[in-house]
Amino acid sequence: MVVTGDPTQVDLPAGTRSGLAEALETLCGVDGIATVRFTDEDVVRHDLVARIVRAYEARQRTAGGDQKP
């Protein structure tokens, strides 16, 4: 099974944790489950898309919201 999502794209009310964030934390370290995280370097479309990804990553770091397991 493959689950895809973008942890930076959460439109839930403040204080509500996303299911993706919970799954990443809960399943971290479980034998047979792997997580692949893409960065702006993995974006192979237009350069503007890579700049958008970088902007969201910088915003998340600045807000202290980096929740990497």
What length does the chain have? 69
Q: What is the pLDDT along the chain (69 residues), one digit of tens a residue?
A: 888 888 878 888 888 889 999 999 999 999 999 999 888 788 677 888 888 888 988 998 888 755 544
> Alpha carbon of 21 to those of 4, 11, 47, 61: distances in Å?
12, 13, 27, 16
State residue 32's pLDDT score. 95
Q: Are 69 and 28 in contact (CB under 8 A)?
A: yes
CA distances from 3 to 13, 35, 69 (A): 22, 9, 16
